[in-house]
Amino acid sequence: MKEQILYLDPHDDYHSARDKIGWAQTDRILLVWPSRQRVRRLNRQLDLLLLQRHAAKLGAKLAFVTADLVVCDHADALGIAVFDSVNDSHLHPWRLRRAARPVRPPKPKAEPEDERPLFAWPKPKWLQSRAVRWLAGGIVFVIAISTITILLALALPTAHITLIPQQQTLNAGMTITADPAQAEVDAAARVIPAKTVTVVLTGSNEVSTTGSVDEATAKAGGTVTFTNLTNQAVRIPAGTAVRTTGGNPVQFVIQKDVTLEARRGAVGEAPILSSEPGPAGNVEAGLINSVEGPLSVQAAVVNAAPTTGGDVKQVAAVTDDDRARAKEELLAQLRQQGYAELLARLKEGQFAPVLTVNIVRVLDETYDRFVGEKADRLQLEMRAEVGVTIVDEAQAFAVGQAQIESQLGDNLALIPNTLTVARSDTIIVNEAGRIQFDITASAKAGASINPDEVRESARWQAADQIANVLYNSLPVAQKPGVIIWPNWFQRMPWLAWRIEVEIKPEE
């Protein structure tokens, strides 16, 4: 007989398996389950039954190869052969793996006489009376209703007690020290930690110079006389330099050509100007006596009259004070800019005293002029690290709260949401960088009342007396308010956890 082997995938279900069987055109169809995986969507007995019927409609016999115990049990129940491997299906006939369970015949129904116990107590005659049975049932019913009523009376009612304890106002004032060197809050010493933060900024500043120096503005001029020292004509061109010889030589330049006749002692005059402007060119008569260059052996020179016109004027120049002033102004500008930038970074509850702003270090400073250099303006560029000390108000307020709590003792308790702490605007910063400021703390304290004790003393008390009982036994400012539900119930709940106690401050 022909056999068709169909392999199932882990994701196959009844519909996909049915489609695979539909393509088979043989007398026997062998469905093979994956060896190490379960086909979770094909392990119901109903699915296997439908596959068996579909194969039967096609005129084929169906068998399985699987190790899934659930599938094996369903196959045995349906009469489908199951094999351990494909080879086993070729070696063994297609029949059940194990014999079907024998059908046990039902036990014969016992006769009424057989069902009677071997020994039974005789029923009392009074239980055989119908009136007695009705009476007993009524008693049981009354007991049940009474029990339910008692349970409801104990568990159903609720009560709400409002207490306003006697109260007083507590005040405390103190000076807080914020120390950058402090690591933790010391409430006893009233010292809290502070933190220094920094930012690197770049800025520039330009100031007017206040110094002055002399600046030569005009050249000195005059006339010199040349004398021929040879018997030949001598031409002295414009631009020839002549100078003085004593002290610091001063150089002059003739302004036009001079030609001396070809005889010894011939003379000629030429106008001159000093090479450098300034009063140094104003020399006395007879001081210009040397010709520079090769013409010095052909002609002699002398100024018959003093040279005049050399002059100076005072112009602005950079001084040490200018540089110091530019630096001081720029440092102040960077401190202000750094404080504004660091102030914007503060979190809620933090403050930074402006007195703590300082220049931590100057990273770079560059002046565009030297001291003594002629200039009307001096510019300074600087990069510096600016620091400021930050204080957390919450830590200071915690110290204030601790001082208030130290006044409570055993009989008082703080009333919630009544504590207020305020900081003064006066801040002192000492040389060590410690910050001192004053705070004032205030709170309302009420008599200490234990809600659990109130519940225990109030349970199962008369509704019309509980307010007076609590007022006389507790340190309250006025009679407690008591609300009972249901309102017709005349006693407080028996269960303490059904009583709610609210303690609120006096308005």
Angle among Cα 338, 340, 341 to the nearest 5 degrees reads 65
- What is the distance between the alpha carbons of residues 113 and 120, in angstroms, rounded to a whole number? 14
pLDDT score at 129: 67
Residue 117 has pLDDT above 60, yes or no: no
Mean pLDDT value across the chain:
88
Residue 141 or residue 205, greater confidence: 205
Tokens 């049990």: give the residue: 73
Instruction: Give the model's confidence band at 101: pLDDT under 50 very low, under 70 low, under 90 confident, else very high.
Output: very low
Helix-helix angle 45-57:14-22, to 10 degrees: 20
pLDDT score at 335: 95
Instruction: Give the model's confidence band at 146: pLDDT under 50 very low, under 70 low, under 90 confident, else very high.
Output: confident
pLDDT digits (tens, 9 = 90+) for 273-319: 999 999 989 999 999 999 999 999 999 999 999 999 988 888 899 99
pLDDT score at 27: 85
Residue 102 has pLDDT above 50, yes or no: no
- What is the distance between the alpha carbons of residues 5 and 88, in angstroms, rounded to a whole number? 13
Report CA 402 to chain centroid distance, whole Å: 29
- Mind giving me the DSSP string for 36-93? SS--GGG-SHHHHHHHHHHHHHTT-EEEEE---HHHHHHHHHHT-EEESSHHHHHHS-
Counting residues of the chain whose pLDDT is more than 70, the rounded percentage is 93
- What is the distance between the alpha carbons of residues 338 and 333, in angstroms, rounded to a whole number? 9
What is the side-by-side order of every strand in the sheet holding 158-163? 481-485, 158-163, 499-503
Instruction: Give the model's confidence band at 133: pLDDT under 50 very low, under 70 low, under 90 confident, else very high.
Output: confident
3-class DSSP assignment, residue 266: coil
pLDDT score at 21: 86
Residue 100 has pLDDT above 50, yes or no: no
441 Cβ contact list (under 8 Å, min separation 6): 171, 172, 173, 174, 397, 400, 401, 403, 404, 419, 420, 421
